[in-house]
């Protein structure tokens, strides 16, 4: 049985600390890896000091988390709105003409409500429940391609005004 006091690191996993500034007889003597002269060669400046430049801890905003600049936002329409829709061909253009979605943005169909007739629905995205409900009612689901490639262009003042 292996006891905790028998455990030791694998061979080569642990290296001794490099002792610098212990004479010119070995590596790390004289200037001890600090170069020659200057403020950093002395012992008065901490490792995080940036020479008077605003330090990293002060440059970074004091906020929790971050805002994803590549977030894709959709305008949503639910099944209960599609149930009241006139006609059986539904696309982002017909939804905008009917005033069911905003005039800009990608359209996503969500699954709130019931659908009792077959519709041919085209949109940029569907929730799982919405696509199941549309096909269960005898309709078809057509996912339109996004107007950008892999991801949308970055949004936000810090990323666009460069």
> pLDDT for 95-141, tens place per residue?
898 888 888 889 999 999 888 888 899 999 999 999 999 999 898 99
Residue 132 has a pLDDT of 92
- Give 142's contacts (C-beta < 8 A, 6+ positions apart): 120, 121, 122, 123
Condensed to tens digits (0 to 9), the pLDDT of residues 26-81 reads: 788 888 888 888 887 887 888 888 888 998 888 887 877 777 888 888 999 999 88
């Amino acid at each position: 049985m292996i006891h905790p006091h028998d455990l030791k690191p694998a061979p080569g996993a642990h290296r001794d600390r490099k002792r610098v500034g212990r004479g010119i007889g070995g590596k790390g003597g004289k200037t001890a890896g600090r170069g020659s002269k200057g403020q950093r060669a002395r012992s008065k400046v901490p490792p995080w000091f940036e020479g008077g430049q605003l330090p990293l801890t002060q440059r970074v905003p004091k906020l929790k988390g971050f805002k994803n600049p590549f977030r894709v936002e959709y305008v949503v329409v639910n099944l209960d709105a599609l149930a009241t829709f006139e006609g059986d061909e539904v696309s982002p253009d017909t939804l905008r003409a009917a005033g069911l979605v905003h005039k800009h943005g990608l359209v996503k169909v969500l699954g709130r409500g019931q659908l009792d007739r077959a519709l041919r629905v085209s949109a940029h995205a569907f929730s799982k429940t919405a696509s199941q409900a549309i096909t269960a009612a005898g309709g078809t689901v057509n996912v339109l391609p996004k107007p950008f490639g892999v991801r949308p262009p970055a949004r936000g003042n810090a990323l666009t005004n460069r």
